[in-house]
Amino acid sequence: MMYSFSKNLKIFSLSLMVVGAVALGIGFLSAPTTVEEAKAMVADARGHGGHGGHVDHDTHADDHAVAYKDEAHHSDHHDDHADDHHDNNDEAYAHSDSHDKHLLHQLQNRPWAATYVAALFFMMIALGALAFYAIQRAAQAGWSILLFRVMEGITAYLLPGSIIVFVLLVLSGLHLNHLFVWMDAEVVAHDEIIQNKQSYLNVPFFLARALLYIVGWNLYRFYSRKFSLAQDNDNGIGYHKKNFRLAAGFLVFYIVTESMMSWDWIMSVDPHWFSTLFGWYVFASMIVTAVTVIAMVTIYLKSKGLLEEVNDSHIHDLGKFMFGFSVFWTYLWFSQFMLIWYSNIPEEVTYFITRIEDYNLLFFGMVVMNFVLPLLILMNSDYKRNNWFIIMAGIIIVLGHYLDFYNMIMPATVGDRWSFGLSELGSASLFAGLFLYVVFSALAKAPLKPKGDPLVKESENFVY
């Protein structure tokens, strides 16, 4: 049974891409090029109160400035950081001349950071789906065989997605943007902490590592897909066994490189800050989004009359994973937060102070979307079998984890100059369109049922 990429969906995804590219292009063009322009832009936004995000955040940042006035470690508030030598990205610019330059960098960073968030987010959906797929293969799970082609379709985005991320990293390395402050020699010259990390955080090694991760993941994706298709027309179980061994090996490689990737690509935008469970935190975010997208694509295909053998028990199991990984994500989010909040060490706690002061609504709103709502919606066993509840919870989870990535990247790159404007919406739309296009054209390339898999019968009969 073949899926054919419907014309409507193709037009939809292409128009998402075009609209997104135009909006993002305007975002890039309207970024300031000189300090004077940057100051004028900020003065303008304050004066007219036109941009929802700015105004909103300005008021609550002020509220919090009062609340935290006496906090010993308050360090990162934009307006009064000049006399403050605690850890933050502004340290190298500790006089008011550089303050303006810093503002310029933040405003210039906005379209870049928006692109980077969206590029990372969609690449990680594919990467998370690949990890989930490898777990099913390595565990020789019987229930999920009918979903393999859906997962393989989603992981098809890994190649373009990871190449785009790599290109963005190279452009950062060429100093076309200021996403990674540790790449700026001027900053490093004044910053002892970053100097001590130079043997790990330097551009050539950084890019070499990125290349290693990307090549490794894509090799697994290529061979697992190849063996999976070959198994369809094979009477033995040779390819199944090969896939099993390959998946086990990949999972070892993955858990190491995923963790390092999260330090390199995400944690290093805050080069002073570190969290030992950060790799797990990013993993939880990507796997819950990936399982959600698998469930949503499956339900979409079922609504087209395909994947008839996928029953509500399969959906129920995906729902359980969505529920469970949401709770797992929250556990890690809270573990990271509580330890840092309690110990109150300056170079650590500044991370959360920035987020609570400048990103209050987003930071806590994301926890509601990623924990409270999935918990309540998906708790009931019957709701996990209901397509509408899965789709509803799924939309909330996907948006919530986009905000999670936004919260990981934005505070360090644009500071309190965030909002949801053309750059953010445009880049999200561009990559969503590209993701849909790549995933659904990959789904159309092979039969949706892996009929040669030795466990396919078990998956067909799967009843919980």
Q: How far apart are CB 338 and another protein at their closest, in Å? A: 5
Phi, psi of 67 (to 5 degrees): -60, -35
Residue 68: HSE in the Cβ half-sphere, 13 Å Cα cutoff: 21
Burial of 325 (0-12, 13-18, 19+ CB in 10 A): buried
Cα of first residue to Cα of last residue in the chain, in angstroms, is: 25
Which tokens belong to 129?
């789906």
Task: Name the residues that contact another protein, by CB under 8 A.
Answer: 72, 334, 337-338, 341-344, 379-381, 463-464
Q: How far apart are CB 216 and another protein at their closest, in Å? A: 37
Grouping H, G, I as helix, E, B as strand and the rest as coil, residue 56 is: helix
Tokens 């990390």 locate to 197
What's the gap between Cα 187 and its chain centre? 27
Closest listed residue to residue 5, CA positions, set 430, 436, 299, 435: 436
Q: How far apart are CB 239 and another protein at their closest, in Å? A: 30
Distances (CA, A) of 240 to 245, 450, 452: 9, 11, 9
Q: How far apart are CB 288 and another protein at their closest, in Å? A: 19
The answer to whether 244 touches 138, Cβ cutoff 8 Å, is yes
Q: How far apart are CB 457 and another protein at their closest, in Å? A: 15
Q: How far apart are CB 340 and another protein at their closest, in Å? A: 10
Distances (CA, A) of 434 to 109, 113, 130, 308: 23, 18, 18, 27
Q: How far apart are CB 134 and another protein at their closest, in Å? A: 27
Q: Which is nearer to another protein, 222 or 464 (CB)?
A: 464
Which tokens belong to 260?
């390092």
Q: Which H or E run contains 82? A: none
Closest listed residue to residue 307, CA positions, set 175, 80, 185, 459: 459
